[in-house]
Amino acid sequence: MTPQAEIARAARILRAGGLVAFPTETVYGLGADAANPQAVARLYAVKRRPADHPVIVHFADAALAFSWAREVPESARRLAARFWPGPLTLILKRSALAGDFVTGGQDSVGLRVPAHPVAQALLRAFAGKQGGRAFSGVAAPSANRFGAVSPTTAAHVRADLGDEVDCVLDGGPSEVGIESTILDLSGAAPVLLRPGRIGAGEIEAAIGARLAEKAADAPRHPGGLERHYAPRTPAALVPSWRLDAEIAKRGAKVAVLAFSRPDERVYRWLRMPRDPQAYAQRLYAALRELDEAGCERILVEAPPETPEWAAVRDRLARATA
Ligand code: TXA
Ligand code: MG
């Protein structure tokens, strides 16, 4: 099939209520028509995701996305102009288009316009009118089982979800490698719910306001669960200065993710880049590889405590919680 024919087929599957896994620049998503309760119910079943956890709805452009919000603050317009299409999700007060089955019953909805060309082509092909129905948004959590490491290649999706999805579009490895930054603009002050490639500083500069800290009663979202994005093998975060001692203590059956050069005592060693964006791009594939090495424990050398590492530190903290 030509790429265009494949996209057209995937869009038909979505319109008919099927499930399509597709690449985005962050991670691969598992898509369903966000206005179709049966399709979204099947999406949750395949992910083994609890029904009260909301999903992000994806659109081809900001105008479509904002039609799912009943109020669009100036800050949202600025951020959309600056960062969409791109790895940013905005939480806004929902319009009547956003049903309880995508918002987890909350009065807000998560909106994102991804930049990946395959995601863009799919969302554009999906949107439009047919048979008296208007199609616009695609609900898409990461295309993995609930709580596990997100997929950054089509092969990861097939390994995780196999024949439970109707179609897997392959767009190569995801460029960002970790999930989108999530910013909640549904309350009195903007709140960063999940750090990502787009940093807090860039957002503050774009809206000319400081971001509030996440409150203890913030809306429930699985990215906020303590243990998430986690491999099956027990994993621990270790400061650089303690890595040697920890390896000596653990013995051979240990797998290590580190900045430094391999240590021959160790069964499996992956050396990671010192650039935070390059690190993020490789992180989930690396965790999968170490998970499959059959070790008793994964040791992860802790990255620096600087702002540009915030998103990677967040994912590592959850993977090792
Ligand atoms: O990069 C990404 O965001 C990827 C790609 C596929 O777009 N998607 C993704 O979806 O990471 P998921 O479902 O794995 O994580 C979405 C996060 C969850 O923590 C969810 O609870 C939160 O977004 N979320 C969605 N709607 C929300 C809402 N109305 N209020 C608070 N959190 C919300
Ligand atoms: Mg996820």
How close is the Cα of 204 to the center of ligand 2, in Å? 25
Phi then psi for residue 181, to 5 deg, are: -65, 135
Q: What is the C-alpha end-to-end distance of the chain, expressed in Å?
A: 44
Does ligand 1 lie within 6 Å of residue 177's CB atom?
no
The response to whether residue 186 sits with its C-beta less than 6 Å from ligand 1 reads no
pLDDT at 204: 98
Residue 290 C-alpha from the chain's centroid: 20
- Tell me the CA distances in angstroms from 149 to 45, 171, 225, 238, 302, one per residue in order: 18, 19, 13, 20, 18
* CB of 196 closer than 6 angstroms to any ligand 1 atom: no
Ligand 1 pocket member 93 (CB < 6 A): no
Kindly report the pTM of this predicted structure. Answer: 0.95
pLDDT of residue 222: 47
> Identical fold at 3-207 and 235-319?
no
- Tell me the residues surrounding ligand 2 (ion) with CB < 5 Å: 142
Q: Is 92 in the pocket of ligand 1 (CB under 6 A)?
A: no
Which ligand 1 atom is the nearest neighbour of the CA of 178?
A: 1
Does the domain at residues 3-207 carry the CATH identifier 3.40.50.300?
A: no
Predicted confidence at residue 215, as pLDDT, reads 58
Domain ranges of the chain: 3-207, 235-319
Distances (CA, A) of 259 to 173, 243, 256, 264, 301: 22, 11, 10, 15, 7
314 lines ligand 1 (CB under 6 A): no
In tens, the pLDDT along 38-74 reads 999 999 999 998 888 999 999 999 999 999 999 999 9
Q: Whose CA is nearest to atom 18 of ligand 1?
A: 221
CB 124 within 8 A of CB 136: no
State how far the Cα of 300 lies from the Cα of 155, in Å rounded to an integer: 24
8 A C-beta contact, residue 29 and residue 83: no
Query: Which of 182, 197, 225, 229 is the best mutation target for the ligand 1 pocket, counting ligand atoms within 8 Å of the beta carbon and taking the most?
Result: 182
Closest residue CA from atom 29 of ligand 1: 109
Rg for the chain, CA atoms, rounded: 20
> Can you name the CATH fold of 235-319?
Rossmann fold (3.40.50)
Mean pLDDT by 10 residues, the chain (321 residues): 92 98 98 98 94 95 98 98 98 98 96 98 97 96 92 96 95 98 96 96 96 64 64 94 91 89 88 98 96 92 96 95 87
